[in-house]
């Protein structure tokens, strides 16, 4: 009886972890920057969501995060974003985007 309960508990825990990871990744992918917002706060928010997603088991490498960050920007940023897709490090992308935002 105890062994069956333990098996059920561990299976459910695994499912809950997968759901938590899925939801954290969804929050990261669905966060958008709106014109008029503070860009640096948006970056901080995105980085916190990235950290949360990875802590929950989602794999999001630096280059993928850069792509997610750039895709969170409005179409009015497309000319700036177009030149940044070759950058692979978050710090470089954020620096280039911050220059545009300032």
pLDDT, averaged across the chain: 87
pLDDT value for 70: 94
pLDDT value for 99: 87
pLDDT level of residue 100 (50, 70, 90 thresholds): confident
pLDDT level of residue 73 (50, 70, 90 thresholds): very high
Is the distance from CB of 31 to CB of 46 less than 8 angstroms? yes
> Among 77, 76, 69, which Cα is nearest to 94's?
69
CB atoms closer than 10 angstroms to residue 16: 10
Tens of pLDDT, residues 7-25: 665 665 555 678 888 899 9
Dist. CA 28–CA 13, nearest whole Å: 23
Tens of pLDDT, residues 30-48: 999 998 999 999 999 999 9
């Amino acid at each position: 009886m105890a062994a069956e309960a333990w098996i059920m508990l561990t299976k459910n825990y695994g499912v809950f972890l997968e759901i938590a990871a899925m939801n954290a990744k969804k929050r990261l992918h669905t966060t958008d920057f709106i014109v008029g917002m503070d860009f640096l706060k948006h970056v901080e928010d995105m980085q916190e969501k990235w950290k949360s997603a990875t802590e929950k088991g989602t794999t999001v490498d630096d280059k993928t995060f850069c792509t997610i960050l750039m895709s969170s920007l409005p179409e009015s940023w497309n000319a700036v974003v177009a030149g940044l897709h070759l950058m692979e490090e978050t710090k470089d992308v954020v620096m280039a985007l911050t220059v545009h935002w300032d």
